[in-house]
Amino acid sequence: MPRPKRSARRPSRPYHHGNLRRALLDEAIAIIGAEGLSDVTLREIGARLGVSRTALYRHFADKDALLAAVATEGFRALRRELVTAWEVGGRGDEAFRAMGVAYVRFAVANPAHYRVMFGGAVQSENPDPELAAEGHGAFNALVDPLASLQRDGLFRAEDPVLMATYVWALVHGMAMLAIDGKLAGLVEIETLMQYAFDRLRTGISAGAGRAGVDLPPARSTSA
Amino acid sequence: MPRPKRSARRPSRPYHHGNLRRALLDEAIAIIGAEGLSDVTLREIGARLGVSRTALYRHFADKDALLAAVATEGFRALRRELVTAWEVGGRGDEAFRAMGVAYVRFAVANPAHYRVMFGGAVQSENPDPELAAEGHGAFNALVDPLASLQRDGLFRAEDPVLMATYVWALVHGMAMLAIDGKLAGLVEIETLMQYAFDRLRTGISAGAGRAGVDLPPARSTSA
DNA sequence: CCTCCAATGTTGCCAGTGTCAACATAGATA
DNA sequence: TATCTATGTTGACACTGGCAACATTGGAGG
């Protein structure tokens, strides 16, 4: 069922667009957010920008390169969310939980975009250094706070990269299950998060208290 | 780059195949395992079976229905792995860890198939009751042992579905990160698993011992 | 046995996709 | 001003999933 294409070319735009690369990227992200990945088609992007379908090839090697750039933008935005949560939260124990919540909420709020960031559509072939760099950046937004909490004696003093990967797997898993609708009828994602972060804390915390007994009251992550 | 198509139709096969539905399914799974999801094309499947490209439509509504069936088979196989790990492992604490290891290894061994089981290619539209049922079956292979360990007083006595979902998110997250190559240069998946299951155990166990102190020695999951 | 029909498989065709080669245009540079 | 190069366009092509119309068959009823 062919959607009615809006936005035929603006009557009098110059032959050269000026900043087409950026526009293509933004339009792709917009479509992903509004319609979904399957509606991201070179022809559709071109049509919306009033530009021909192959104009894109002057700015990206191919469609995968465009999606890699989309993914890169995603990691950049995600890192911003994480850093904000950490700093606004007070850079402590609770702020770390807030980062986890922010991570999952980002994925749930932008499911298609989040899938592009992972999902084999991209990374398998050409490694795209920019994407890798931005991905590491987002990961480090997790590692650094964690190492800091270890230094403060709040978390177990273990390889912070290993611990961060563990935490990453947990939030990524919750995000993916939520996005793919696998939690329907089981649990609300917010409920799962609160439970998971409690159990996570018990698992990695260095604090006193017997295992199986909750640590001091701590909860406030606006949920 | 068009691959050379092998297996032109066998000279004298009867017009009616006999059990084409099963053959289509197996061939799709075979291609997914050997080449990847993007090589699963109706024409390719037909060619390999020496059957026309649209024969499939007498057995599946469309390509998504075929993939849903593939996913269903995947959940069935996964559940078998889990149940085996639990029973062979002795239905105890260690057997539970073995289930986790088996889960992640299944995904890593069959990455494309595992992606079909999740990944939006399938479940979003027509719910496919068979797929849902088999998915719940695999999930219950996790819930039941967990509830059993709770009854034995080994794990915290909490909503077993909630706890199982938490565990599921963790193994799913590790599996996806590994499959998507996001762990490259960070950690080996087996190392991550061993660490994660130690921390998980500390988090959900009801046992004595101070938090932050490892529980009694327990490790043997052939890794 | 024959007849007929529903199930199964095939062929022709269509719209839609990503991509390339050849061409067009225009901003910058000499 | 002349020309060069970056940028954008047009016309193909091979490939995909899917439908409609047709072909072939095995089996059920007479």
The pLDDT tens digits of the residues spanning B200-219 come to: 999 988 863 344 444 444 44
CA distance A59 to chain B (A): 23
Q: Which of residues 62-121 of B touch strand D (CB under 7 A)?
A: 62-64
Lowest mean pLDDT among A12-16, A145-149, A203-207: A12-16
> Higher confidence at residue A127 or residue B154?
B154
Lowest mean pLDDT among A5-9, A118-122, A187-191, B114-118: A5-9
What secondary structure letter does DSSP report for B156? -
What secondary structure letter does DSSP report for A38? G
The verdict on pTM exceeding 0.85 is: yes
pLDDT above 90 covers a percentage of chain A that reads 78
Asked if B6 CB < 7 A from strand C, the reply is no
Tokens of A18: 């000026």
CA distance B166 to chain A (A): 6
Asked if A91 CB < 7 A from strand D, the reply is no
Q: In Å, how far are A33, A81, A103, A111, A139 from A108, measured between CA atoms? A: 11, 13, 9, 5, 18
Instruction: Pick from A116, A124, A191, A199 the residue to mutate for testing the B interface (most B CBs within 10 Å).
Output: A199
Residues near B150 by beta carbon (within 8 Å), at least 6 away in sequence: B156, B157, B158, B160, B163, B206
Average pLDDT, chain B: 87
From chain B, the residues in CB contact with A211 under 8 A are 202, 205-211, 215
B104-123: average pLDDT: 88
Location of structure tokens 């790990």:
B85
Helices (H), chain B: 20-34, 42-49, 63-88, 93-109, 111-117, 129-151, 160-179, 189-204
Location of structure tokens 């077993």:
B160
Residues B172, B196: Cα–Cα separation, whole Å = 12
- Quick check: A12 pLDDT over 70? no
CB contacts < 8 A, A to B, total 151
Q: Which nucleotides of D are covered by protein (CB under 7 A)?
A: 6-11, 14-20, 24-26
- Quick check: B120 pLDDT over 70? no
> Higher confidence at residue A11 or residue B118?
B118
Instruction: Pick from A163, A202, A205 the residue to mutate for testing the B interface (most B CBs within 10 Å).
Output: A202
- Quick check: A53 pLDDT over 90? yes
Of all residues in chain A, the one with the smallest CA distance to B117 is A180
From chain B, the residues in CB contact with A114 under 8 A are none
Lowest mean pLDDT among A19-23, A52-56, A126-130, A131-135: A126-130
Strand partners, A151: none
Residues B98, B107: Cα–Cα separation, whole Å = 14
From chain A, the residues in CB contact with B199 under 8 A are 163, 166, 200, 203-204
- Quick check: B5 pLDDT over 80? no
- Quick check: B138 pLDDT over 80? yes
Residues A154, A158: Cα–Cα separation, whole Å = 12
Tokens of A214: 């909750």
**pLDDT tens column, B9-68:** 333 456 567 799 999 999 999 999 999 999 999 999 999 999 999 999 999 999 999 999
Q: Which of residues 6-35 of A touch strand C (CB under 7 A)?
A: 14-16
Lowest mean pLDDT among A77-81, A107-111, B9-13: B9-13
Residues A126, B71: Cα–Cα separation, whole Å = 28
pLDDT above 70 covers a percentage of chain A that reads 82
Q: In Å, how far are A123, A163, A217, B121 from B55, measured between CA atoms? A: 34, 51, 62, 22
Burial grade of B178 (CB within 10 A; 0-12, 13-18, 19 or more): buried
Tokens of A113: 């975009």
The helix (H) or strand (E) run that includes residue A66 is: helix A63-88
Residues B1, B19: Cα–Cα separation, whole Å = 32
pLDDT at B17: 74
